[in-house]
Amino acid sequence: MPSRTKKFRGLRTHGRGKKAGRGAGIIGGHGNAGLGKTKKIYMLKYDRNHFGHYGFKRPQCMVEANSTLNVSELQEQADRFVALGFATKDGDVYNINLTEAGIDKLLGSGNIDVKVNVIVSEASAKAVEKIEAAGGSVDLGESDFEEAEEE
């Protein structure tokens, strides 16, 4: 059966009157439209905090996120750090400077079974425990800010 549109070509409202064919006009709008008028009781019962501003969102330029690395990733990427010049390998011991590599914090997820001496500004207690159990060490180097403050 053909659509009614063909039948109503040339007629402005297509048989729907002046306002009935404009979106959801007969029910007061889509979604939460008209909560101040037609849906006032609904808003008062179920969405009391609809109007107004609540909370504060910090601008993204002010938010700093730590760049982190897990100990399992440290083991996988040890040779890569050597190739990039952020680490050296003495026998079976890796000496890695994560601060130079741009890593802010070392986390303790995963396992490590190679000897690694790490220089990093922050490390979780679990990460330090796992690296020392594998025969390595963690040097929590002080940040540049603290050194500049002491001078």
pLDDT, averaged in runs of 10, over the chain (151 residues): 84 82 68 78 87 85 89 93 93 94 94 94 95 94 50 51
Q: Is 14:8 a contact under the CB 8 Å cutoff? A: yes
pTM of the model: 0.55
Q: How far apart are CA 72 and CA 33, in angstroms?
A: 52
**What pLDDT, on a 0 to 100 scale, did the predictor assign at position 25?**
62
Count, residues in the chain: 151
Please calculate the CA angle 114-131-146 and round it to the nearest 5 degrees: 130
**What pLDDT, on a 0 to 100 scale, did the predictor assign at position 146?**
44
**What pLDDT, on a 0 to 100 scale, did the predictor assign at position 24?**
66
**What pLDDT, on a 0 to 100 scale, did the predictor assign at position 147?**
44
- Give the tokens for residue 22: 């404009």
